[in-house]
Structure 1
Amino acid sequence: MFKKMFTVFCALIITFMIVSFVPPQKVNAEANSVVAQNGQLRVSGNQLVNQAGEAIQLKGMSSHGLQWFGQYVNYDSLKWMRDNWGITIFRPAMYTQDGGYVNDPSQKNKVKEAVQAAIDLGIYVIIDWHVLGEKDPNIYKEQAKGFFAEMANLYKDYPNVIYEIANEPNGYATWNGHIKPYAEEMIPVIRSIDTNGIIIVGTGTWSQDVHDAANNPIAQSNIMYTTHFYAGTHGSLLRDRIDYARSKGVAVFITEWGTSDASGDGGPFLAESKVWTDFMKDRKLSWTNWSLCDKTEASAALAPGASPYGGWSDAQLTASGKFVREQIKSATPTPSDGIVSGKTYKMVNVGSGKALDAAAAGTANGTNVQIWDDNGTGAQQWIITDVGGGLYKVINVNSNTGLDVAEMGTANGSNVQLWSYGGGSNQKWSIVKVGSTYKLIASNSGKALDVAAAGTENGTNVQIWDDNGTNAQKWNLYQLN
């Protein structure tokens, strides 16, 4: 009798556990993110497409080796690049040798940190097995199988994740003799766990021989082939190879390119780089630029000593970094959906219910910006105009002056005022939709338009402050014409 009761009790407990502990649905934290909008990517013919079958071009950054510059791979730096540069993809470069995974398997923890940040931010991410010094990807094939099995088990339900299984085979490693056989062993390891994820395969001669792959492609779906270039070394010959490969029906993803020569130094060659970025734009070739680091070399995006956590001013970017930032911004869809360029709006703060207002209806440069009861005057009306790169100028109707961060300020508490519009970064704003409301992010600092101390009284000052998601930084925008 006791045994029977015990059996029934256990059955009830098991039933309770099955009903109660349903695995959480794996969704992106950012409802309006690029991943939320585009979902699980796939390959259609020679093109990367979104869940609706529309061609998509992803643009972003690759880290340098995580063992050397992993401090730049974190949630804050990725968030800064998403919000201020417009990145839609990030690639943490996990070397196999030289202190990488084979020498130190804990390097995968930094990859996991990057993937989780990408999931939280709603951007795509490439898990990179950075074959380089060993030349032949078969050298560490068994380690690669274990690594990708672990990654696929962790992230198989997330549309964010793309797998790059061999960065740059080189030397004696050929497509037919070494790389394709490796890929044909590696792909089933991932596919047995993640049936949908995009898998990118490197090609010979430091991923320049994409034509060889096109002549003998892998008989699997959702496979892409990478080409790497450095603008000071590689030109029309490599572009012709890409066009040839695409004409054969294979899809190409540029997982690494630099503005320098092939050494990573020399240059930057910005005119040649622009030829390449135009080429990639015309063909909707997705790319990540090498590299997010402060190494003293031409291809590095950051100046020596730049913060690991974003917030970079122009002075903290190299010539390459500034160029690449602008190429990422170019034609990157702005998240501020619903804004009609050139129209007049009033902006009402969510926390206080009061309108963004020019103090005393002032028209002079330096007029302070505050909140005040919504009164319908021109002092509370703003013409919002797209100025490119996902940025807007915000011009007060009454004074024809722009919303301006005083003295190019970047610190918390920097004052917001009106000033004649001159196109400075302190007068350009990202306008980002947050549910049914908006936040305004100053281009020069990445900080949000903020009501001081979350005040609600008439005359409370408006400033910039770290983006914190509070109602003091959320604004309802009402179109007036």
Structure 2
Amino acid sequence: MPSYMMISRKIILKKIAIFSLLCFACASAFAQNGNPVSLHGALSVENGKILDQHHIEPQLRGISLSWSVWAGRKYYNNDVVKWLKSDFNISLLRISMAVEPDSGYLKDQAGQEQLITKTIDAAIKQNLYVLIDWHDHHASKNVEASKLFFIKMAKKYAGKPNVIYEIWNEPERVSWPLIKDYAVQVITEIRKYDANNLIVVGSPAWDQDVDITAKDPISGFKNIAYSFHFYASDPSHQEKLMAKADAAIQMGLPLFVTEWGVGESDGNGVFDRTKTATWLNWLEKNKLSWANWNITDKDETTAILKPGASVKGKWPVQMLTPAGDYIRSQLNELNRK
């Protein structure tokens, strides 16, 4: 009798374990297709990795809206956000708030805040992660405006696990000490109101010189990651650039690919599918989260939409560019694994 009881107990425990694994797998599939924030929860940084509430790497994948001025502005709305979630199956949306151009934040603070916050709120309602991107190449010249902006965002979104702060898009050829000084000032203000949400810091040379950043990362704050950008078909964005990122990863720098495109660094040029596949495989191997550039209907290589695409989403395949069709297919395949 005792032996029988022991065998039965082992069988029951095994069945419970199998059932638990199946439940987790189902929850994972549901979260990728419906509610990634429920599965992954608040993000944190530990030992050089971005982790979720289960202490695993979530690998978020999604799309960046274009500059919140010019042609891209019209796609900052709830209908587009809903379509990107349901049809492109994104888990991440990047909000690229233009800072310096005419009608950007420095010229139209109230208008830009209204535009981006309604889009951020739409993403949160759809249970997506959302990058709030200070889309500025010269942020160190606009540090006071940046601090005031991120204070507002931190007050409004503190405690929302969806929200990630990207505090400087693509610093140009400026030194890491200058970028680091700017970042510390802005992070200090954010942390007064939001103690935990992930903050992403830029690196020199348009977020490419992450190997330089990795030698002297920011200390004294938790949950800090660093952006890395590439354009997959650009001749100068191949092995040498990938090696920089590999070196940074080996040095323990937590990377977040907040922007990448299938074309070249000017947004145009060729779309080389072989080179793009190489970069995508690299992202998968390193389990890096990413946002593809970009939702706009401009006539250029990295644009997702053809000119005249509806401002309400519901785009037929015929209104997607080759980049758009490719990225949509990749997102649906990868986020449903």
Residue of structure 1 in register with 2:106 after alignment: 102
* 1:298 is aligned to 2:298: no
Residue of structure 1 in register with 2:156 after alignment: 154
Residue of structure 2 in register with 1:138 after alignment: 140
Measure the CA separation in 1 of the matches of 2:327 and 2:273: 9
Measure the CA separation in 2 of the matches of 1:90 and 1:113: 13
* 1:225 is aligned to 2:229: no
Stretches (4+) displaced over 3 A: none
Measure the CA separation in 2 of the matches of 1:86 and 1:278: 19
The correspondence of residues 163-312 of structure 1 with structure 2, limited to 5 A, is 163-171=165-173, 173-176=174-177, 178-219=178-219, 220-233=221-234, 234-312=237-315
Measure the CA separation in 2 of the matches of 1:213 and 1:35: 29
- Change beyond 3 A, Cα 1:32–1:305: closer
**Secondary structure class of the residue paired with 2:303:** coil
Residue of structure 1 in register with 2:122 after alignment: 117
Measure the CA separation in 2 of the matches of 1:312 and 1:47: 36
The correspondence of residues 62-73 of structure 1 with structure 2, limited to 5 A, is 62-68=64-70, 69-73=72-76
Q: CA deviation at 1:157?
A: 2.1
Q: CA deviation at 1:223?
A: 0.7
| Per-residue Cα deviation, 1:184-226 (whole angstroms, up to 9, x for no partner) | 1111100111011100001111111111110000002211111
Measure the CA separation in 1 of the matches of 2:260 and 2:192: 31
Runs of 5+ unmatched residues, structure 1 = 1-29, 334-388, 390-481
* 1:43 is aligned to 2:45: yes
Bigger relative CO (Cα 8 Å, ≥ 6 apart): 2
Measure the CA separation in 2 of the matches of 1:32 and 1:276: 26
Q: Which amino acid aligns with 1:175?
A: W
How many residues align? The count is 300
**Contact between 2:171 and 2:204, CA under 8 Å: does it hold in 1?**
yes
Runs of 5+ unmatched residues, structure 2 = 1-31
Q: Which amino acid aligns with 2:126?
A: L
**Contact between 2:200 and 2:224, CA under 8 Å: does it hold in 1?**
yes
| Per-residue Cα deviation, 1:304-362 (whole angstroms, up to 9, x for no partner) | 101111111111000001111112122314xxxxxxxxxxxxxxxxxxxxxxxxxxxxx
**Secondary structure class of the residue paired with 2:229:** strand
**Secondary structure class of the residue paired with 1:111:** helix
Aligned alpha-carbon RMSD (Å): 1.5
Q: Which amino acid aligns with 2:190?
A: I
Q: Which amino acid aligns with 1:256?
A: E
Question: Which structure shows the bigger proportion of residues in strand conformation?
Answer: 1
Q: Which amino acid aligns with 2:222?
A: S
Question: Which structure shows the bigger proportion of residues in helix conformation?
Answer: 2
Measure the CA separation in 2 of the matches of 1:270 and 1:111: 33
Q: Which amino acid aligns with 2:203?
A: T
Residue of structure 1 in register with 2:24 after alignment: none
Q: CA deviation at 1:269?
A: 2.0
Give the TM-score of the pair, scaled to structure 2. 0.86
Q: CA deviation at 1:95?
A: 1.5
Measure the CA separation in 2 of the matches of 1:224 and 1:266: 30
Q: Which amino acid aligns with 2:175?
A: T
**Secondary structure class of the residue paired with 2:62:** strand
Structure number with larger C-alpha Rg: 1
Per mean C-alpha deviation after superposition, the further-off stretch among 44-53 and 112-121 is 44-53
- Change beyond 3 A, Cα 1:231–1:32: closer
Q: CA deviation at 1:31?
A: 12
| Per-residue Cα deviation, 1:390-449 (whole angstroms, up to 9, x for no partner) | xxxxxxxxxxxxxxxxxxxxxxxxxxxxxxxxxxxxxxxxxxxxxxxxxxxxxxxxxxxx
Q: Which amino acid aligns with 1:211?
A: D
